[in-house]
Structure 1
Amino acid sequence: MTNSPEAPTPDSSPAPTEQASAAPAAPAAPLDADEVRHADHDPAVFTAGAFDRIVEPRSEARLPLGDGTWYQLAKAYVRVQLITTGLFLLLVLVGGLVAVFAFDFRWLVIPAAILLVILAAVLAVTPRQARSYGYQLRRDDLVFRRGILWQRIVAVPYGRMQLVDITHGPLDRGFGIAQLKIVTAAAVTGVTLPGLTQQAAEQLRDTLIEVAETRRTGL
């Protein structure tokens, strides 16, 4: 009797073959709502020399601030406004006195007095009014707010910005502040930040220009 060779039994558990499969890349972390994609963006520049908080209306029906970081105007802006308005008030007062006593223009007493009262009221509310200004850099837009009695909040999409302009007069330069104006396709959505420090205005301009270009090109 001959023994037939046993047929090889197939391995029921074949050796696994390695497959080169790349692990899925982790999704990029989204930008924080208060950040802008800019290498030189330094929030400390926006807070240096500025007020520490926004003054809100006392009414419960006021427009809420919402979440996020709000930046404010420079404290030097108030001094510039007080000097400018005070000089105008002094000019009106001296001009009125000269017109009345030197040229006997007594009819100028009433309009001059009304103008002086208005200027005095402007001087009184200027510090509080300046602290109602604020701006916030969000993911897709810049939000601007101002006003105590008449509040205004504007959201300007980065992709709609056409021009970012910085201007300052001699008195502004003396106190180290500047005015930054944002022009969009729709004139009603334009924003003017009247009293930023020079460094804050320049950095904000560069940041907005870079982010606006990114939004327009769809990157």
Structure 2
Amino acid sequence: MPGPTDPLEPWPDTVRWQPVSRDLIWVELLRLGATLAVLLIGLAIGWAVSGHRLFGYGMALLVAFGLWRITVIIRAVRAWGYAERDDDLLVRHGLVVRRLSIVPYARMQFVDVTAGPLERAFQLATVQLHTAAAASDARVPGLRPAEASRLRDRLTDLGQHRAEGL
């Protein structure tokens, strides 16, 4: 059987990827909408005060950017996934630059679960894994609180048991 052709998909048949909640799309779209609204209001005020058409062009570019960003957000959330294996956690994400992080349970130092006001409104949380190397930290956003708690407890338990063997 030939090896994998994509280095980011090394275990297509043996790994069961878990997707994040699609409600994360709404959280990200609301964040984008708030940012664009502030910028558009600023440009509209500038246009009204100065009457210079460059502000109108800026508004048009901002709307075009917003439409492009909506597409990217939808696709990016669908690209997030995680998989629990016996010795490590796999986390994948990204569209243009795809990333696959493999975090061994024995290397985890602590696990955070966070949820800002917007995430809480959509009943979502983020699990953040911290290791000794900052570059190897991984996060899994868009989890339901029960799943985030379960994952946190499982990762913490597995991390303690694996670290005892070192």
Normalised-by-shorter TM-score class: 0.7 to 0.9
Q: 1:63 aligns with which of 2, 5, 8?
A: 8
Gaps of 5+ in 1: 1-59
State the 1:180 CA deviation: 1.4
Q: 1:187 to 1:169 in 2, by over 3 A?
A: same
Q: SS at 2:8's partner residue?
A: coil
1:41-83: CA deviations, max 9, x gaps? xxxxxxxxxxxxxxxxxxx757325222111111211111111
1:211 aligns with: 158
Gaps of 5+ in 2: none
C-alpha separation in 2, matches of 1:142 and 1:61: 19
After TM superposition, the structure 1 stretch with the greater mean CA deviation from structure 2, 130-139 or 83-92, is: 83-92
C-alpha separation in 2, matches of 1:86 and 1:78: 12
Does structure 1 residue 134 correspond to structure 2 residue 81?
Answer: yes
Q: 1:149 to 1:186 in 2, by over 3 A?
A: same
Q: SS at 2:19's partner residue?
A: coil
Q: 1 or 2, which has the higher strand percentage?
A: 2
C-alpha separation in 2, matches of 1:182 and 1:62: 23
Q: 1:178 to 1:111 in 2, by over 3 A?
A: same
Residue pair 2:107, 2:131 contacting (<8 A) in 1 also: yes
Q: 1:98 aligns with which of 15, 27, 45?
A: 45
C-alpha separation in 1, matches of 2:26 and 2:7: 27
Q: SS at 2:21's partner residue?
A: coil
Q: SS at 2:109's partner residue?
A: strand
Counterpart of 1:158, as a letter, is Y
Counterpart of 2:95, as a letter, is I
2:97 aligns with: 150
Q: How many residues align?
A: 160
Task: Give me the TM-score of the superposition, normalised by structure 2.
Answer: 0.86
Matches within 5 A, 1:47-196: 63-64=8-9, 66=12, 67-104=14-51, 107-196=54-143
C-alpha separation in 2, matches of 1:108 and 1:135: 43
State the 1:211 CA deviation: 0.3
C-alpha separation in 2, matches of 1:186 and 1:101: 51
Residue pair 1:92, 1:116 contacting (<8 A) in 2 also: no
- Answer with 1 or 2: which has the greater Rg: 1
Q: SS at 2:146's partner residue?
A: helix
Counterpart of 1:93, as a letter, is L
C-alpha separation in 1, matches of 2:143 and 2:133: 24
1:160-181: CA deviations, max 9, x gaps? 1012111111111111001111
Residue pair 1:164, 1:181 contacting (<8 A) in 2 also: yes
Q: SS at 2:18's partner residue?
A: coil
Residue pair 1:167, 1:178 contacting (<8 A) in 2 also: yes
C-alpha separation in 2, matches of 1:79 and 1:85: 10
Q: SS at 2:15's partner residue?
A: coil
C-alpha separation in 1, matches of 2:112 and 2:84: 17
